[in-house]
Amino acid sequence: MDLFTEGDPIADAKAPEGPIETRWERRRFEAKLVNPANRRKMTVIVVGTGLAGGSAAATLAEQGYRVRSYCYQDSPRRAHSIAAQGGINAAKNYRNDGDSIHRLFYDTVKGGDFRSRESNVHRLAEVSVNIIDQCVAQGVPFAREYGGLLDTRSFGGAQVQRTFYARGQTGQQLLLGAYQALERQIGLGNVEMNSRHEMLELVVVDGRARGIVVRDLVTGEISTEMADAVVLASGGYGNVFYLSTNAKGCNVTATWRAHRKGAYFANPCYTQIHPTCIPVSGDHQSKLTLMSESLRNDGRVWVPKAKGDDRSPRDIPEDERDYYLERIYPSFGNLVPRDIASRAAKNVCDEGRGVGPTKLGVYLDFADAIDRLGRKAIEAKYGNLFEMYERITGEDPYEVPMRIYPAVHYTMGGLWVDYDLQSTIPGLFVIGEANFSDHGANRLGASALMQGLADGYFVLPSTIANYLAAGPLEKVDAGHPEAVAARRDVEDRISRLLAVDGDRTVDSFHRELGQIMWEHCGMERSEAGLRKAIDEIRTLREEFWQRVRVPGDGEGLNQSLEKAGRVADFFELAELMCIDALHREESCGGHFRAEHQTPDGEAQRDDDRFAYVAAWEYTGTDEPAVLHKEDLKFEYVHPTQRSYK
């Protein structure tokens, strides 16, 4: 059976015409408005309370819409945006170092390896400056200089210092700003907050998104909530790999359920693997912890020259070490971009030169920096990271080199959206990491926070009004046949999961799925590996529905049941990721196909065949997905081969 078929291309992503710097302004002017009295009669559902969802819910409520907000955590403040460390980019040019909106736009398109949409990225760069103003007004405690003005630093290969930060907790502080704005609206009665609730189905009536089916995770009660529009801000799907830097609860269910109802899923194979994470320590490992990219400023990455060299790192003499990044990439050295550093680590470990108990690790050594700058200086720069490392590993990185290994961190793919952030289902908007829009095949550091807040504070609140203004929509309630059917689907699925009563736990399936994905759809992919993975995923999915054991019932808090539903959706997503990776016969950004590399082992794009967004349409489990191509045009940034040697 064919894995997929090709359908009609996507002709129009609805970006306005004209010079790129005028497009967003024109879109806002042309967008229809909803008068304040009518906004009070309209309900918008927002799923997820991270940077995108929290800021969108607060802003829509400020504008006068009735908002219903949902999150699976016990409080909207805990969404995983909170764990972002490094910073947020903005083209303020406070440093007078040559930054501009155009340069941020250019860097982001290039960093995405020419697989993103120019119009969207330019808009992102434009609103980046408003985000900083907004957050400062909310009391976000950004780092400041002695003169009282904002400090910035450089990040991920950029040649300007445009990254605003709050120590190593920038995500936390930005999220608390959005959360507090949201809580204010909750206190005013403009937002109905539903924490510990999980969206399990989308309700589509007459082709439009009109509601969701949710489960109250405390009481187990299933309810149907109707609205004039639905916004998904439910984050990325990195947990399909089981081990990732994502929070344990992060999942694809909200977007996957929408995909099954007709929303196209774009570029699912674009995954970001971060090079500096603490390695797996054993089979019990439940998640991976990131060590900030900034460490590569002073740490040197190396492995022994000889295979299977088991000596303690301090006993390996200098001439028996391979500082492989410095050797292969002399001009960028230890500071090559994330995708390059990750793959190089994998290669040396595949050669049998990995270190640590599992041999899946490389050293990040600060001995030279400590000699050069003194221990005090290193403590001042990285003290909190060194402490965190020691807490987790029990090793003192001042004495022995850190061991690091790449880990899944972010997913650039997501539901396809047009310029208005609307999916292929009218009335269904998708924002933040949940959509595919701005990062192409590789996201630059400090750009995730920028995109989440751009979408939530500024873009969506303008574009959703244009949709709502075309109303009023016909009144529908939870008794509508489509709503009743969606609810019944949810109930049936829960009953099915509980009824299997097999002999394997959900986690054991999730772990096995993760291994398949990491092995064949991780840092390096090949046709043979991907075909094998697809077979293995299908077999494992069948086994899941025959052997999984979900204890308890659906009546109250049942964390095993929550996990089972999420893993069931991950199985279906995993297959689509492999199909997407298989069909894209080129290497770009985070997607590296072994068959498509330059003679010296670098990623080789094929712009003639693959300069498009792959948007996938669902046609049924075990039915071939349909591929719709959206051609990417580069009018302002001309594609070139990236080189870091």
Q: Which residues are catalytic?
A: 338
Q: How far is the CB of 336 from another protein (least distance, A)?
A: 25
On the CB side of 83, CA atoms within 13 Å amount to 16
Q: Which of 14, 22, 149, 622 binds another protein (CB under 8 A)?
A: 149
What is residue 457's DSSP assignment? I
Cβ-proximal residues to 466 (8 Å cutoff; 6+ apart), any chain: 31, 32, 420
Q: Are 571 and 516 in contact (CB under 8 A)?
A: no
Q: How far is the CB of 282 from another protein (least distance, A)?
A: 6
499 is an interface residue for another protein by CB under 8 A: no
Which of 119, 170 has the CB closer to another protein? Answer: 170
Q: Which of 98, 187, 317, 479 binds another protein (CB under 8 A)?
A: 187
- The helix/strand/coil state of 480 is coil
The two three-digit tokens of residue 623, written as one number: 């039915």
Which of 280, 469 has the CB closer to another protein? Answer: 280
Per CB under 8 A, contacts with another protein among 500-529 are 503, 505, 507-508
460 is an interface residue for another protein by CB under 8 A: no
Which of 363, 457 has the CB closer to another protein? Answer: 457
Per CB under 8 A, contacts with another protein among 537-576 are 549, 551-552, 556-557, 559-560
**Distance in angstroms (rounded) separating the CA atoms of residues 292 and 446:** 12
Contacting range for another protein; rule: CB under 8 A; set: 75-83, 198-206, 257-265, 594-602: 75-83
Q: How far is the CB of 75 from another protein (least distance, A)?
A: 5
68 is an interface residue for another protein by CB under 8 A: no
292 is an interface residue for another protein by CB under 8 A: no
- Sheet bearing 625-631, strands edge to edge: 4-6, 625-631, 612-617, 265-266, 414-415
183 is an interface residue for another protein by CB under 8 A: yes
Q: β-pairing, 265-266 with 66-70?
A: unpaired
- The helix/strand/coil state of 87 is coil
55 is an interface residue for another protein by CB under 8 A: yes
Q: How far is the CB of 418 from another protein (least distance, A)?
A: 22
Burial 510-530 (b: 16+ CB within 10 A, else e): bbbbbebbbebbbbbbbeebb
Rg, Å, the chain Cα set: 24
Q: Are 428 and 202 in contact (CB under 8 A)?
A: yes
Q: Which of 289, 292, 515, 604 binds another protein (CB under 8 A)?
A: 289
Centre a 10 Å sphere on the Cβ of residue 388 and count the other Cβ atoms it contains: 17
457 is an interface residue for another protein by CB under 8 A: yes
Q: How far is the CB of 133 from another protein (least distance, A)?
A: 4
Amino acid occupying residue 226: M
Burial 86-100 (b: 16+ CB within 10 A, else e): bbbbbbbbbeeeebe
Per CB under 8 A, contacts with another protein among 338-357 are none
The two three-digit tokens of residue 5, written as one number: 């078929």
Contacting range for another protein; rule: CB under 8 A; set: 3-11, 176-184, 608-616, 617-625: 176-184
Which of 128, 267 has the CB closer to another protein? Answer: 128
Q: Which of 3, 31, 136, 367 binds another protein (CB under 8 A)?
A: 136
Contacting range for another protein; rule: CB under 8 A; set: 128-136, 330-338, 398-406, 616-624: 128-136
Which of 455, 586 has the CB closer to another protein? Answer: 455
The two three-digit tokens of residue 121, written as one number: 């990225």
Q: How far is the CB of 605 from another protein (least distance, A)?
A: 34
Contacting range for another protein; rule: CB under 8 A; set: 222-230, 481-489, 499-507, 606-614: 499-507
150 is an interface residue for another protein by CB under 8 A: yes
Contacting range for another protein; rule: CB under 8 A; set: 207-215, 287-295, 397-405, 414-422: 287-295
SS3 sequence, 174-242? Answer: HHHHHHHHHHHHHHCCCEEEECCEEEEEEEEECCEEEEEEEEECCCCCEEEEECCEEEECCCCCHHHHC
Determine the size of the site formed for another protein (CB under 8 A): 80
Q: Are 503 and 551 in contact (CB under 8 A)?
A: no
